Structure 1
């Protein structure tokens, strides 16, 4: 059993990210990846209403539309866990009560479903009183449009405040957090979010699990990333310490007969409070190593070696990889790895 926090959502130990749908993969490719994921036991798919508004000619919601068209041809909806997020669609930006309600209804329509299994606030909105947002999400649960609530990219302080308000208002509390966390971005997650998740019984589903592809094994130097879709993000990791993490992933993977991406995902799964990492695949071939990472169990020595290698990155670089709330509105979000 692999339950998300205190919910009854029992999921496969890897979540398929839908951020590539309509961005780096078309509808047919996306459908193939989705079908292959479910055929191998996958259950949870994660998307957002804003994916992929940053692409020229897109308006947002493209990922949900592709996921919806795939769902329409299946009869196993009850076996799947569909997660999406509010707050980043250009027409419903932010977390006001009005925006949250409109965003949820638009997402339901694009997905072609009656209920969203896990609905996240995509990122904090300090311009709106948090009580208003908490009530809005609670109303969605009470109306049956949402089963459970999650928070993505929220600081520990704001998560605590949301939990306090949920109790005071008598509305359902969040069951899951979706932070930015991976081998080359360990703080501030480990400093603040992880202890909070443990103490409050919250499920943790980290996004950017492969650091924009840096941990996938396809890059061994900065030159390899030139011209890549995510070159600007990946380039920041090509320090001696970052490359040492890659070397360790390759060393362990070579011994185990596994890809670096599989090892990186298995390391995340070894963290006690992590329910399942989120990772994306543009093609079925790319999906193979992700699925292997959902099943691979690292021994203590491998975990220790990766901990030591990644610790050498230092807190400055690791924290600098957490720029989820300062990005330009027309840029792909950090959780579009």
Structure 2
């Protein structure tokens, strides 16, 4: 499978990154290993996780996703074949304050290395900007880990355009480790969080872009078209807000393109992201073997300019 470059970082990734938020949440360890095995066999080598993943699951502690991934890599002896991404800086308690201080991030990185059973992390993200800590404090903390070869590259996620630009400017001024990849929420349903100022900053600075919620928490799979479809589903809290006129219009456009190419709506939604300006590789999750089919569909399909225009117009206004 042809790899893509994540901006100027030099990191190479599969064209779709697997989102590890499902590990320890909707998938137990055995089920997670099965999906990871199948994912690797298909040629997808990049996995994204975070120290907080599984924190919201009943009785499942934070860091469970990292523990599962670490155990899988060790048992399969695949660490050197995986591009590993994790994040820190978000609260370990749902709804709690973010923390980008040097001491907090130093502890977070060390804990993640232990859970992942690895000596290094390929790409480490500041998960959320706390809005208060000087941006250079996080960068200086990461610089130490870079010097120790425990972090290879760093990225920012969920930053405002002002704080992202400030972090880039200060890194340049102080000649310290700089963010090389940005991770926004971005999909056909949610476009405003990336398009515009953030996109311009990423393009100007040659930042890799790895969008999360690429399928709008499952809404863009086309499986959820009325409120009853969400009943009893974990995704209800994230995706039932998309059940509106705009959502219906977007689903109809996905139906049209998926029928034309003979692939799933999810495959089309991922392909749309892969073809958007500035995007390096979208992040998507799967809980069943059949869900991985949309990954290979997205990689293989060739969307025409007309296809892209149909999708673009459907999702224009919010």
1:204 and 1:302 map into 2 onto residues whose CA distance is 22
Cα deviation, residue 236, structure 1:
1.1
TM-score (norm 1): 0.90
2:149 and 2:191 map into 1 onto residues whose CA distance is 36
1:172 and 1:129 map into 2 onto residues whose CA distance is 15
Segment of structure 1 superposing worse, 302-311 or 129-138: 129-138
User: How many residues of Structure 1 are paired with residues of Structure 2 in the alignment?
Assistant: 313
Q: CA contact under 8 A between 2:33 and 2:72: conserved in structure 1?
A: yes
3-state DSSP of counterpart to 1:148: strand
Query: Structure 1: which 5+ residue stretches go unaligned?
Result: 315-337
Indicate yes or no: 2:220 matched with 1:215: yes
Cα deviation, residue 171, structure 1:
1.1
Indicate yes or no: 2:118 matched with 1:113: yes
CA deviations 1:63-106 (Å, max 9, x no partner) are 00000110011233222100000112528961110111111110
3-state DSSP of counterpart to 1:189: coil
Q: How does 1:65-144 map to 2 (within 5 A)?
A: 65-88=67-90, 90=92, 94-144=99-149
1:59 paired residue number: 61
Query: Structure 2: which 5+ residue stretches go unaligned?
Result: none
1:160 and 1:90 map into 2 onto residues whose CA distance is 27
Cα deviation, residue 13, structure 1:
0.3
Cα deviation, residue 222, structure 1:
2.3
2:9 paired residue number: 7
1:244 and 1:199 map into 2 onto residues whose CA distance is 33
3-state DSSP of counterpart to 1:272: coil
Q: CA contact under 8 A between 1:13 and 1:275: conserved in structure 2?
A: yes
1:283 paired residue number: 288
1:164 paired residue number: 169
Indicate yes or no: 2:305 matched with 1:303: no
Cα deviation, residue 213, structure 1:
0.5
1:126 and 1:93, CA in 2 relative to 1: closer, same or farther beyond 3 A?
Answer: closer
TM-score (norm 2): 0.95
1:253 paired residue number: 258
Indicate yes or no: 2:244 matched with 1:242: no
Cα deviation, residue 5, structure 1:
0.9
Q: CA contact under 8 A between 1:59 and 1:90: conserved in structure 2?
A: no
2:75 and 2:299 map into 1 onto residues whose CA distance is 26
